[in-house]
Structure 1
Amino acid sequence: MSGKITDFFEKKTTTTIDEAENKDNDKELTSTTTTTTTTSTTSKKKVAAAPKKKAAVASKKRKHESSDEETDKEEQQNDDDDDGEEKVENNNNNKKLKNEEKSEEINSTITDNNYYDDIENYFTDKQWKEALSGEFGKAYFKKMITQLNKRYSSKEKPIYPPKNEIFSAFNYAHLEDVKVVIIGQDPYHGKGQAHGLSFSVKKGVSPPPSLINIYKELETDIEGFKRPLKNGFLEPWARQGVFLLNAVLTVEEATPNSHKDFGWADFTDAVLKILSKQDQPIVFILWGGFAQKKEKLFTNKNHLVLKSGHPSPLSIKHFIGCKHFSKSNEFLKSKGIEEIDWKITE
């Protein structure tokens, strides 16, 4: 822009000088036709006046050049100011972007940790919550819960049981009131079945094959037991101190053992170790090879360990006749502990 202004003033100045010189030449011709003396006098005046006119023109030109320089400086200053403002704006934008990114990161962390925070609400029993507080803070547990939170949130494939029922087994009886522990492998993977208790299904859901076989064994083992045909809800056992624990507490729909590598085994092993250290006598019932691998965790001689095949139809012949229910009651009675009423009504 400054270059255009300078060109304009230079052209204007040149035009002014040319016009002044043309006027002087016209006057000079007019004076010559009058008289020689006048011509001489006029010529002298012109000679004397010419330097003044040229000086005035030069001065005017210098003013224009000075004005151009000031204009250039002003424009440069404006450009510098614009650059400065742009830098400030860029810095502000960068800060804003960083703050937004940090906010997103915090929000993401909060989102990931929501499930972990909710666990405080899922554990309603204070004794269990206190006993397991050390596990909640471990890296494997936080990683597992974060992973589970994403799986539950994505809804690509249903996860069972619902989040608020994962720890149901811990909320039916205080740690000090546990009498019998029955270890399962992982939850039922059919819709509407699992609710946090091993081998149990929700109200209104027909008993699965393994539970039907458990009922069959009870019919031959416990006098007066009548097998319910439509009720597989084992809550009455849980309320009496039967701890129905799966080694893995979650599963994807129609995909058994899908969460076996999530870290649940570390958690439930810690649970079993805590139970093993309890002074009150406990019966540990281990059905099948998977559950029997946990036997090494029970080093307390106060407890009783019972083993047999799994109640699944695939291994039923190694399960039927084990009499684990009557044996559990005999042990509890011998220790002065109230026996379990194994009855399940329709």
Structure 2
Amino acid sequence: MPWGTFLKIGEQIMSRFPQGWETFFEEEIKKDYFQQLWKTVQHEYYTTTVYPPGKDVFAVFKLVRPEDVKIVLLGQDPYHGKNQANGIAFSTASAITPRSLANMFKELKSDLDIDHPSNDLSGWVAQGVFLLNTILTVREHQPLSHQELGWETFVLNVLNFLNSNNKVILYCAFGNQAMKMYSKINGIKSENILRYGHPSPFSYDKYFKGTRPFSQINSWLEFHDLTPINWAQ
């Protein structure tokens, strides 16, 4: 099945693979699980309201080539409100800051005295911070509604692909769900994982506040002779 036909969601078509990810996607879309996943996801877009917009499902892949990924930071699933999800974990197209992102920005201010200029985190991704959700689509107002459709398998395959092709990569876990996913990666090294609590309102004060993840990530990158992230972008 041609890629444009296979990836069609309503009137939106991705006409080509994200640049640099061709090898991965060419193999992945041939797999039975992915074809069943995409059949289900297309049906969801046709019959109900699903986020992010179809053109943005793989947005994070379009912003950074696999060989340029230095850090993986997993989210859970997309924001489930209108005009929020943009295909980048934690990031949003909305001017209203979701609570978890607001808490990340609080910690960024406390850690490095940086006020991030917007809710759009594409500037981080362009520098090699791969902000990927574990589940890439969601029904409106129904968090985790696309859990166990096959996205988790897809994301684990992405992580294995990155881990096998990148010489040095940092896996940053915000919460237990990200850590569970990282534990499944083939050959992952414990020294390449930084673990923190989740920035959600339920765990921010106890497990995330004061942990200084942004400066610690940059220290890790510098130790491995990699350019630190400009978190103000």
The normalised TM-score by structure 1 is: 0.62
Structure 1 pair 175–119 and aligned structure 2 pair: CA distance change class (3 A): farther
Instruction: Give the secondary-structure state (helix, strand or coil) at the position aligned to 2:202.
Output: helix
Instruction: Tell me the matched-pair count.
Output: 227
Runs of 4+ in 1 over 6 A off after TM superposition: none
Instruction: Give the secondary-structure state (helix, strand or coil) at the position aligned to 1:313.
Output: coil
Give the partner amino acid of 1:184: G
Give the partner amino acid of 1:147: T
Q: How far apart, in 1, do the equivalents of 2:167 and 2:33 lie?
A: 30
2:125 is aligned with 1:250: no
Q: Does the 8 Å contact 2:14/2:55 carry over to 1? A: no
Within the candidate set 313, 317, 330, 2:201 is matched to: 313
The Cα of 1:330 is off from its aligned counterpart by: 1.0
State the identity as a percent.
37
RMSD of aligned C-alpha atoms? 2.1
Q: Does the 8 Å contact 1:282/1:302 carry over to 2? A: no
Q: Does the 8 Å contact 1:123/1:170 carry over to 2? A: no
Task: Give the match for residue 123 of structure 1.
Answer: 17
Task: Give the match for residue 262 of structure 1.
Answer: 149
Q: Does the 8 Å contact 2:108/2:214 carry over to 1? A: yes
Task: Give the match for residue 60 of structure 2.
Answer: 169
Task: Give the match for residue 104 of structure 2.
Answer: 214
Kindly indicate which of the two structures has a greater share of residues assigned to helix.
1
Structure 1 pair 120–158 and aligned structure 2 pair: CA distance change class (3 A): closer
Structure 2, unmatched stretches of 5+, are: none
Q: Does the 8 Å contact 2:76/2:133 carry over to 1? A: yes
Structure 1 pair 285–119 and aligned structure 2 pair: CA distance change class (3 A): farther
2:94 is aligned with 1:198: no
Within the candidate set 127, 132, 138, 1:240 is matched to: 127
Structure 1 pair 276–119 and aligned structure 2 pair: CA distance change class (3 A): farther
Instruction: Give the secondary-structure state (helix, strand or coil) at the position aligned to 1:243.
Output: strand
Task: Give the match for residue 63 of structure 1.
Answer: none
The normalised TM-score by structure 2 is: 0.90
The Cα of 1:295 is off from its aligned counterpart by: 2.5
Instruction: Give the secondary-structure state (helix, strand or coil) at the position aligned to 2:230.
Output: coil
Task: Give the match for residue 230 of structure 2.
Answer: 341
Q: Does the 8 Å contact 2:74/2:89 carry over to 1? A: yes
The Cα of 1:168 is off from its aligned counterpart by: 0.7
Q: Does the 8 Å contact 2:17/2:25 carry over to 1? A: no
The Cα of 1:133 is off from its aligned counterpart by: 2.1
1:28-43 alignment, distance < 5 Å: none
**Deviations for 1:275-308, whole angstroms, at most 9, x for unmatched residues?**
1213431111111111110232162449621111
Q: Does the 8 Å contact 2:67/2:165 carry over to 1? A: yes
The Cα of 1:167 is off from its aligned counterpart by: 0.4
Task: Give the match for residue 326 of structure 1.
Answer: 215
Structure 1 pair 333–119 and aligned structure 2 pair: CA distance change class (3 A): farther
2:78 is aligned with 1:187: yes
From the CA coordinates, give the structure whose radius of gyration is larger. Answer: 1
The Cα of 1:209 is off from its aligned counterpart by: 0.2
Structure 1 pair 163–120 and aligned structure 2 pair: CA distance change class (3 A): closer
Q: Does the 8 Å contact 1:308/1:322 carry over to 2? A: yes
Q: How far apart, in 1, do the equivalents of 2:212 and 2:189 lie?
A: 21
**Deviations for 1:320-346, whole angstroms, at most 9, x for unmatched residues?**
1222211111111122211100014xx
The Cα of 1:129 is off from its aligned counterpart by: 2.2
Q: Does the 8 Å contact 1:116/1:146 carry over to 2? A: no
Q: Does the 8 Å contact 1:159/1:252 carry over to 2? A: yes
Structure 1 pair 276–286 and aligned structure 2 pair: CA distance change class (3 A): same
Instruction: Give the secondary-structure state (helix, strand or coil) at the position aligned to 1:276.
Output: helix
Structure 1, unmatched stretches of 5+, are: 1-108
Give the partner amino acid of 2:44: R
Task: Give the match for residue 41 of structure 2.
Answer: 148
Flag the structure with more relative contact order, 1 or 2, with Cα contacts below 8 A and sequence separation at least 6.
Answer: 2
Q: How far apart, in 2, do the equivalents of 1:264 and 1:300 lie?
A: 20
Instruction: Give the secondary-structure state (helix, strand or coil) at the position aligned to 2:130.
Output: strand
